[in-house]
Structure 1
């Protein structure tokens, strides 16, 4: 892998960073900072240390929320910015604990936007922020700030062959975190909608449906996948997969989807039970198909 994580494996204990997000003591950090650990201690700006409890995590986006029982006057929540307004060349400030050196600030600029970064398995986080501010092991989970002190990202990974900063760092955009945090606090995990399509192929026209989940929302809505045809060849019957019979998805509502990430990002921004309109190519004609997303429906409390 070329996207090495900041936090390196340490036999007995590891260090990472995070930020207070409310007066209730919730702390946002990276999932890989707390993954497989038995105990987590959080040290605040005043040197006071508190044992943390697990609240929830989203391994797909490498985010996690933990909580400490601390007096409200000791908790100073970070101000959330807007990562959709960022521009290349903007000044940024990374705060964290590199190599265990507490409350370290480094500066730099946004080097690029809309990068894609594989974090866990084959899942990709879109719209990753690339920075040149020095970040090292221990910076994971710390905030990336703009010049007004607002958090615009969560420092997550570096491009390095040595495990130390080479001037290419990556941060998860804060807008993604703002979508995830409420679900982690309320449910302990992210409730993602299900569309019932398990595989698609990218084509020049759109996303060709390669496999449907039997009985899933897409099949129930009438979306067509590849068809199996039987042909007699002499004394034998041969089965042939006809992919030309499958639908090609070109838009979800009014948004064009050219890649798998476009499609996943659009669907995962919805809630189970929402209805979307798929525009598909079927036998050379555009057809619209309303589809009700499945999945675990959030309970109203």
Structure 2
């Protein structure tokens, strides 16, 4: 048996520890190198299927194997990845009252919106923010901002909001056009139905030119009908074509049950293109108007006044000094005043039957015919005066706000 001195024992012990340390460090280096090698392999073999464990703005676009998806699926994926962050969730607070009639804040409605300008402008439906005293806008990353209603168009159920992005780079959705839409064309809806944020549904344009009444009783014209699933919470979200352009603003559904049954409606984006600049600049839409007091004909009025027609707009009065008086329109006779409810109607005035060739039978028709006009535009008004039809050119004024 070989004996070792104390110094030799210490030397050999230190040597053993050093060898073990080097071996452990070596494994650590190999393990680290393997990690680096996996990234290297991912870059060298881009066709390899890589399934990301996380998705989100911080990681950029997720990696996927395009060969596993159909062309239609890839279109959906591409549009969602590119624009879902431009869709926001909108919640509101409204004023309610307790048992003592004291005003208290209450949770209001919720809906969707689309960021249309990097300065923080958001397009949504008016009914989403109507009567709200506070509006909150939540982005895709979960950050929430208090927004302001900068403009409202009740007639088309549209509102523009704004929040301060505080230096954040925002994703926006570009406006397309609704002029050349065809029934059967594919569309994509992104919104927040039932508070499930940034949900994508697909469908087709199933109808065009649908007139529908909004909550104010006014008719919104040329609505886009779609079978893309639209549910409560989708209101105000974008309807997008396969080019990634907004072609409509999802607004309402037809449903006997409260849920989607495949009949949804969107405001055409060409309407938004026309009114949004005014909403951003003036807070309202500057529309043309005829300075008269219009009254829609109704059966008892027609019978009492022995009127020759049953549909149209009676000019009860022309506003003194207004464009109607200047153009030669005639109001009713104060000696032929009749009362209807709380209103006094003057008979004997002109009855408007058409504006710019568009038949006018109701007040909705009258407002609708002037909806796309601006102050200073000239329109041709056809009136029945006595038993004769007359064509009168009227230069429009600005519609009063009330």
Q: TM-score range by the shorter chain?
A: 0.7 to 0.9
Q: 1:41, 1:208 → 2: CA distance?
A: 42
- Deviation of 1:247 (Å): 4.3
Residue 220 of structure 1: aligned partner: 326
Greater mean alpha carbon deviation, residues 202-211 or residues 269-278: 202-211
Relative to the length of structure 1, the TM-score reads 0.80
Residue 374 of structure 2: aligned partner: 271
Q: 2:212, 2:224 → 1: CA distance?
A: 10
Could you give the per-residue CA deviations for residues 13-32 of structure 1, whole angstroms, max 9, x where no partner exists? 54310001112110001111
- Deviation of 1:148 (Å): 1.4
Bigger Rg over Cα: 2
SS class of match (2:136): strand
Q: 1:32, 1:250 → 2: CA distance?
A: 31
- Deviation of 1:226 (Å): 4.7
Residue 128 of structure 2: aligned partner: 33
SS class of match (1:266): helix
Gaps of 5+ in 1: 1-6, 231-240
Q: 1:121, 1:51 → 2: CA distance?
A: 27
Which of 286, 294, 298 pairs up with 2:397?
294
Residues 82-101 of structure 1 aligned to structure 2 (within 5 Å): 82-101=177-196
Residues 246 and 41 (structure 1 numbering): CA distance in 2 closer, same or farther, change over 3 Å?
Answer: closer
Greater mean alpha carbon deviation, residues 113-122 or residues 88-97: 113-122
Q: Greater strand share, 1 or 2?
A: 1
- Deviation of 1:256 (Å): 3.4
| Equivalent residues of 1:206, 1:250 under 8 A apart | no
Q: 1:115, 1:179 → 2: CA distance?
A: 19
Q: 1:220, 1:106 → 2: CA distance?
A: 53
SS class of match (1:56): strand
Residue 135 of structure 1: aligned partner: 230
Residue 103 of structure 1: aligned partner: 198
| Equivalent residues of 1:205, 1:250 under 8 A apart | no
Greater mean alpha carbon deviation, residues 39-48 or residues 258-267: 258-267
Greater mean alpha carbon deviation, residues 149-158 or residues 194-203: 194-203
Residue 156 of structure 1: aligned partner: 251
Work out whether 1:246 is the aligned partner of 2:341. no
| Equivalent residues of 1:144, 1:154 under 8 A apart | yes
- Over the aligned positions, Cα root-mean-square deviation in angstroms equals 3.1
Could you give the per-residue CA deviations for residues 206-228 of structure 1, whole angstroms, max 9, x where no partner exists? 84534234324223321134556
| Equivalent residues of 2:92, 2:135 under 8 A apart | no
- Deviation of 1:296 (Å): 6.2
| Equivalent residues of 2:358, 2:369 under 8 A apart | no
**Matched length:** 279
Give the structure, 1 or 2, with the largest relative contact order (CA under 8 Å, sep 6 or more). 1
| Equivalent residues of 2:206, 2:226 under 8 A apart | yes
| Equivalent residues of 1:80, 1:150 under 8 A apart | yes
Structure 1 residue runs of 4+, over 6 Å off?
A: 7-10, 202-206
Residue 58 of structure 1: aligned partner: 153
Gaps of 5+ in 2: 1-90, 95-105, 299-307, 337-345
| Equivalent residues of 1:209, 1:224 under 8 A apart | no
Relative to the length of structure 2, the TM-score reads 0.61
Q: 1:72, 1:88 → 2: CA distance?
A: 41
- Deviation of 1:295 (Å): 2.6
Q: 1:256, 1:222 → 2: CA distance?
A: 20
Residues 276 and 258 (structure 1 numbering): CA distance in 2 closer, same or farther, change over 3 Å?
Answer: closer
